[in-house]
Amino acid sequence: MSAIDIIAAIAREMLDTFFLDYFFILLCVVIIIAVRAQYERYSELRGELSSLPSRSLREITEEIILVGLVAGFVGSFIIIAAGITIDQDAVRYLFYIMCILLLINLRFLCISFAAGILVAISLVFGYPRVDAPSILGLVAVLHLIEAALVYINRGKDSIPVYIKHRDDIAGAFLIRKFWLIPIVFMTFVAQNIASGISNPVDGWWMLFRPETLKNGAYALGLDCIVAVLGYSDLAITRHPEKKSRETAELLFYYSALMMVIAVVSIRVHWLAYIGTVFCIAAHEGIYLYGRHREETGMPLYSPVRRGLRVMEVLPGSHAQRMGLQRGDIILSINDKDIQTDEGVNEALREYPVFTWTQVRGWDGKDRTCEYRCYPNGYNTLGIISVPREKDVTYNLNKFEHLSIIRNIVSRFKGMNRPV
């Protein structure tokens, strides 16, 4: 079977699923509603930073779906070419587990948690019977896709926040991305049912060659499931672009090791137990390791004794045109020392058409940024700075952890609270 045949079969299955499979449509609707609820919280946070432009929820939803379609097509090709085969019952169990995890915490919606729990139940209790190597292989491919998406979108849509760090204030960037990935995979169907893909085993070398086909009772068909990939991160000690790049590398290593374990476990069955633990523990370990490293390190966006630290440069602003960057320290504007945002406003109060700004970069090197704004001059830089004192810092748990159960309980308590 040629690559063109696989691509055509994937496209045909995706079209049939999107327009004819009501279970798939229901799953997409449930997930999109949950993801939109999280992004609404992000919009609330952006609204508190009034100068920070934000995209509409419609634009965010369209991006989630369109990027997911492209990524799903690539992932589906890899999965089918590798011979990963999943029983249709296993797909339903994955859906049930994902719904339960969604009620607990949106962060657990990632496919690695649902797959790890399903395989663990199957190995320990013997029911439901699922093909552990194939499900672990599915997780490996999906997180290879996630690593690529995190790297491509590194630092994009990160939100600057003020946090308490070692009894002091610090600037940080909150990063949260979701992708809905429709994945086409091979499954077992009765021989008399059209499979949608012609005899994929013959003439095609596969890592996961379905041994069950030898009895001749079943053929291979195609099915589709929507998987959710979630990326949550916090950048305190490094730029969000660098933090995302490092996380993408860890996810790539996670994916590669998971694939090795999945392939070897076909022959060495006890490795499936190790793969199940690795599936959940390593994924959660990446998150906890990154968080611990950021919270115990030296903040990159901390207040300074002299000057004003730049935390974010707004797109299209005068600060961006003159070359200011995240982490820079503004020392003076037109020889006027700068210590606060009010000092910047005072230096630009008369709408100067030419300014020279003394800046100390995050690398410790001083430079002068000259800027001409003819003919009307300007009176705003367009930056978000790190203040020395601020009454309000953000509780990141409110934005990182969305629990439907906890929200329902909180609302119920609020309704029964005496007036």
Contacts of residue 340, defined as CB under 8 A and 6 or more positions apart, other chains included, come to: 308, 387, 388
Integer Cα distance of 396 and 174 in angstroms: 8
Q: Where in the chain is the domain with CATH 2.30.42.10?
A: 308-386
Q: What is the pLDDT of residue 138?
A: 93
pLDDT at site 59: 73
In sequence order, the β-bridge partners of residue 186 are 85, 222
Which residue in 89, 141, 122 sits closest to 269, CA to CA? 122
User: Residue 295: what pLDDT?
Assistant: 83
Residue recorded with tokens 């990141």: 396
Residue 383, SS3 per DSSP: strand
Q: Which pLDDT score is estimated for 211?
A: 54
Q: In what helix (H) or strand (E) does residue 174 lie, and over which residues does it extend?
A: strand 168-190
The alpha helices in 83-131, defined as continuous H runs, are: 88-104, 111-125
Beta carbons of 165 and 236 less than 8 angstroms apart? yes
Mean pLDDT, each 10-residue run in order, the chain (419 residues) = 76 78 70 66 57 64 82 90 85 85 77 92 90 93 94 83 78 83 78 47 58 53 78 86 93 96 92 95 91 86 87 87 90 91 90 92 87 87 80 54 52 50
Nearest to 265 by CA among 127, 123, 146: 123
Architecture of the 308-386 domain: Roll (2.30)
Residue 401's pLDDT is 53
Nearest to 139 by CA among 254, 47, 31, 293: 254
**What gap in Å lies between CA 178 and CA 64, rounded to an integer?**
7
Q: Cα separation of 76 and 91, whole Å?
A: 15
